[in-house]
Amino acid sequence: MLVDLAQHILETVAPEMHDIPWSNVKAMMTTEYCPATEIQRMEQELWTLTLKGDDIEAYNNRFHELVLMCPEGRLLASKY
C-alpha cells in the first residue's frame, strides 16, 4: 500500500522534486495522504492491540505494520 503510493508519487512528480530531502517528502506525504484522525486511529489500535486466540504471527505482523505507520510507534517498538 505505502510502497505503491511512494512509487506513484515518484513517477508523477517533477524531476526537481528528487532533490528534496526524504524527511521533507515524508512530511508532505503524511500531510497529504494520512489525515490526523487516521493516524490517531492507528495509534489507538497499536496501544490496544491484543492477541486473538493463538495467532501470534498475525499479531506480530499487525504490530509491526502499525509501528511503521505510527509516528509514535517507533518509540514503543524501541522498548521491546
pLDDT digits (tens, 9 = 90+) for 46-60: 889 999 999 999 999
In a structure prediction context, what are the per-residue pLDDT tens digits for the chain, which is 80 residues long?
566 767 776 677 656 666 788 888 778 777 777 788 888 888 899 889 999 999 999 999 999 888 888 766 555 555 55
What lies within 8 Å, CB to CB, of 32 at 6+ separation is none
25-47 burial, b at 16+ Cβ within 10 Å, e below that, comes to: beeeeeeeeeeeeebeebbeebe
Give the pTM: 0.52
In the chain, what are the domain boundaries? 54-80
Please give the pLDDT value at position 14. 59
Please give the pLDDT value at position 2. 61
